[in-house]
Amino acid sequence: MKLVTFQQALTESGKFASRHLLLGNGFSIACIPSIFTYTSLYGRADFSEIPEVKLLFERLGTMDFELVIRSLENASVALPIYLDGHEDVAQKMREDAIKLKELLIRTVAENHPAFPSEIEENKYLHCINFLKNFMDHKGKVYTFNYDLLLYWTVMYGMENKLIEQKPLDGFGRDTDFQNGEFNVSEYLTWQGESTAHHQNIHYLHGALHLYDNGAFLEKFTWNDKNVSLIDQARKALSEGRFPLFVSEGECEKKLEKITHCGYLYHSYKSFSKTMEVVTKGGGNCLFTFGVSFTDNDDHVLKKIASGKVKCVYVSIYGNPDTSDNQRIIAVAEALKGRRSTSDLEVYYYDALSAKVWG
């Protein structure tokens, strides 16, 4: 397996008409490793309301929240089959799985930087340069991450006029005409599929600043309330309101939640279509950065395998021979075998050489 630099991968991908990007947790970890790794989140999480779950982490020898969520959900199905009359225990497992999902998002929110200014300007500049390789080349950006780092970065790029292609996340203000006057909504809301077809930023699993209010999907912004996004998110959590997020332990359950939310399903279909479209003048390619290629994200990975995207460039952090990197490489290589034709190429580039945050 040959590992090239990010610049070499960009040069090689110049033959494609468009270049798309899929971000995983490694994108956020590269910016602030002290917060966004599962190890850091586990160490900061308060398990006092679900002490059995803390013991389950220890018994499984993991700090992976989604692995433990999956274990609880699967065990709640298996237990009543093996032990008749213990439905109450199975129900507690299901409830604890829900509480663990909520604890994950609380922990992210409580430990997230409160203001964009807490991240050095130099990091934003490097990240903008990284994103421009995709956004300014007819590309779309998809992310698995819940945090605000991508949002803050593109806002910085817009405010400082550093991005040629305007970032569009599909949110805007609703307007209506009543009593001879136009009324504009107080909040930014998702405009729906009919007006979001130019959307080029997609939060595949939701985000801390997106809230489902039943009738509409709202995006928290600084300008509307002069309160930091994280403080707005923390206030909402204290009121029992949770942001739109997908943290189910299995890809089937993630997809089930995605298909029941208009915004998430639109973003999922956008990724699927992007992988399917054959662009005139060279086709499409996809770069991944910080994506761990785990089974619980196979609902997205399978769209790469079944699509018509010509080439995938996969980031590898550190020594390619580590067990984690060998697993990533094996899953990425398997995508080629899952395609009915033999036209998918997979290349690997050094994540550090991308200098995403400097």
CA torsion angle for 100, 101, 105, 110 (degrees, to 10)? -10
In a domain, 255, yes or no: yes
CB atoms within 10 A of CB 151: 24
Buried/exposed 287-311: b ≥16 CB within 10 Å, e otherwise: bbbbbbbbebbbbbbbbbbebebbb
50 occurs within a structural domain: yes
Q: Are residues 165 and 265 in the same domain?
A: yes
pTM (2 decimals)? 0.90
Q: Which of 64, 113, 71, 117 minimizes the C-alpha distance to 94?
A: 71
188-214 pLDDT per residue, tens:
888 777 666 789 999 999 999 898 877
Residues of the chain with pLDDT > 90: what percent?
66
Residues 106 and 75 in one domain: yes
- Is the pLDDT assigned to residue 130 strictly greater than 90? yes
State the pairing for strand pair 171-178/181-190.
antiparallel
- Residues 339, 270 share a domain: yes
Looking at the fold, whether 196 and 252 belong to one and the same domain comes out as: yes
| Residue 76 pLDDT greater than 70, yes or no | yes
**Is the pLDDT confidence value at 226 over 70?**
no
- What CA–CA distance (Å, rounded) separates 7 from 197? 30
Does the residue 77 lie in any domain?
yes
Give the SS3 label for residue 311: strand
CATH, residue 319: 3.40.50
Q: Which helix (H) or strand (E) holds 135?
A: helix 121-135
Count other Cβ atoms within 10 Å, centred on residue 90.
Answer: 18
**Looking at 111, 133, 152, which one is the last position of a domain?**
111
pLDDT digits (tens, 9 = 90+) for 83-104: 988 899 999 999 999 999 999 9
Length of the chain: 358
Question: Is residue 105, in this structure, part of any structural domain at all?
Answer: yes
Residues 60, 107 within the same domain: yes
Q: Which DSSP string do the residues of 236-292 spell out, in sequence order?
A: HHHTT---SB---SSHHHHHHHHHTSHHHHHHHHHHHHHHH---TTT-EEEEEES--
How many domains does the chain contain in total?
A: 2
- 142: closest CA among 161, 119, 170, 114? 170
Residues 20 and 63 reside in one and the same domain: no
Q: Say whether both 346 and 260 belong to one domain.
A: yes
Q: What's the domain range around 82?
A: 38-111
> Do 198 and 55 fall within a single domain?
no
